[in-house]
A = this chain, B = another copy of it.
Amino acid sequence: MKATKHAISPTRNENYAEWYQQVVRAADLAENSSVRGCMVIKPWGYAIWEILQRELDKRIKETGHSNAYFPLFIPKSYLEREAAHVEGFAKECAVVTHSRLVQNEKGELIPASPLEEPLVVRPTSEVIIGESFARWIKSYRDLPLLINQWANVVRWEMRPRIFLRTTEFLWQEGHTAHATPEEAEEETRKMLEVYRTVAEKLMALPVIPGKKTAAERFPGAVETFSIEAMMQDGKALQAGTSHFLGQNFSRACGIKFIDKEGEEQFAWTSSWGVSTRLIGGLIMAHSDDDGLLLPPRLAPIQVVVLPVLRGEKEDASVLASGAELCHVLGQKCHGGEPLRVSFDDRDRRGGEKNWEHIKKGVPLRVELGTRDIAIGQVTFLLRDGGGKQSMAREEFVEAVPRLLGELQERIFAAALALRRERTIRVKNFDEFREFFSSGNGFVEAHFCGDGAIERRMREEFSVTARCIPLETEGNIGPCFADPSRQGPITLWARAY
């Protein structure tokens, strides 16, 4: 390992897309399976997802939502109920047509027992959950109905990329129904804010919350909101979406209620989701040419203690001292949870173990040898650099939560600095073209909202309108592409 300069080859500068695949492999996060477009999430990748899931689940419940579970299969006729929705999803869905396999005369298994109506494996669950909502909601007193589901979904992917675009992925999808459009839109924005908090505080990922243009809306939505993050190559990643669905799905599914005045009305609904795609964003935003770099709040192991063993009789005391250090550290907290500490006493070469933890992004490594123990000190390294540091053992134990907190802040600050450096405000199409002809980044430009302009930008530059940032929502000016028309500041980028 020490012969090469970096653990990951190619580096980010050499080939960003391939570097990403190599980080996923080196950190042992996931792998492609033999089922095209479907991935296997390996233990280290799944452990990160579990932490993200637990933290998000806590916040979803704190905001009054309950978890429930709805069928994997959607009858074809249900999908047809909302025109824009079926248009958006029919072209990429897994269709179940038979309920058994039987052997033919050659001994081959062939599909048998055709279904009366084909079933679609859910690409998203608005229409199947809508069916339940229609049964559950009778009166304004049943509202708001605030439900969340953790599930797998399937959208057939022609150009799969691990974590970022997979045929099957894991996600949560919130679905809510309200008595007024104001309440439903407030919910939509509230959950966007929950996503922003999780992205920024846990993933150390600065994001721009905003409203999608009409062309970029979720199929069937009245408004779509998203959080957009910048990756290290300057491209955008949509990290979460929240949709105000108006009465489109309540009409399609028959979600009606009797209001306080005794009148029957259609409910106003919302839906919102984040997925395992977030792990792809986490990798691309923070990792370096040595592998994954995990924000401590999401690291399955925050501190690893590596005993330096020499095959001598002193080894026993090193092992005992290391176990004791882990025990003491495990009593400390970071982010309101006990520290996640691991003692790596596996019988392997120290260098090999060390590189494994670097590539997996463990935030803090302790190298514990006889000399350190003799003088009561701890030698440690932080994953984002700075080399070996030493500290008196007791002082170190107290300092770890602070060291991890500072690392978390540094990762966020670095991502924010990169985004600021690679974001420009443009006034006209020439500036826009010049920027995207020479590279990637975020462009802020007033935009009139004309879909034809969006199509042109996509065709000419592969650039899309990411969102209309909420922060500058009221800032209206002449459109960069058609100055005769006005519009809000809109964020443009190439996107994953």
Using a CB–CB distance below 8 Å, which chain A residues touch chain B?
Answer: 31, 33-35, 38-43, 46-47, 49-50, 66-76, 78-80, 86, 90-102, 109, 111, 118-121, 128, 131-132, 135, 147, 151-152, 154, 156, 168, 170
Contact = CB atoms under 8 A, between A and B. Distances in A.
A49 B149 CA distance: 13
A40 B156 CA distance: 25
Given A35-B119, A101-B76, A109 B90 contact: yes
B168 A73 contact: yes
18 contacts: A31-B132, A35-B119, A38-B71, A42-B68, A43-B67, A46-B66, A46-B67, A47-B67, A72-B154, A73-B94, A80-B109, A92-B100, A95-B97, A95-B99, A95-B111, A98-B118, A101-B120, A151-B152
Contact of A34 (B100, B111, B131): B131
A253 to B, nearest CB: 11
Contacts of A118: 98, 101, 111
Contact of A101 (B31, B90, B128, B135): B90
Contacts of A111: 95, 97, 118
Contacts of A43: 66-68, 147
A69 B100 contact: no
B50 A67 contact: yes
A75 B132 contact: no
A33 B131 contact: yes
Given A35-B73, A66-B43, A97 B98 contact: yes
Contact of A79 (B67, B109, B120): B109
A278 to B, nearest CB: 15
Contact of A69 (B75, B80, B170): B170
Contacts of A76: 101, 109
B71 A90 contact: no
Given A79-B109, A91-B101, 20 more contacts: A31-B132, A31-B135, A33-B70, A33-B132, A35-B71, A40-B132, A41-B68, A42-B68, A46-B66, A46-B69, A69-B170, A71-B168, A73-B94, A86-B109, A92-B99, A95-B97, A96-B96, A96-B121, A97-B97, A97-B98
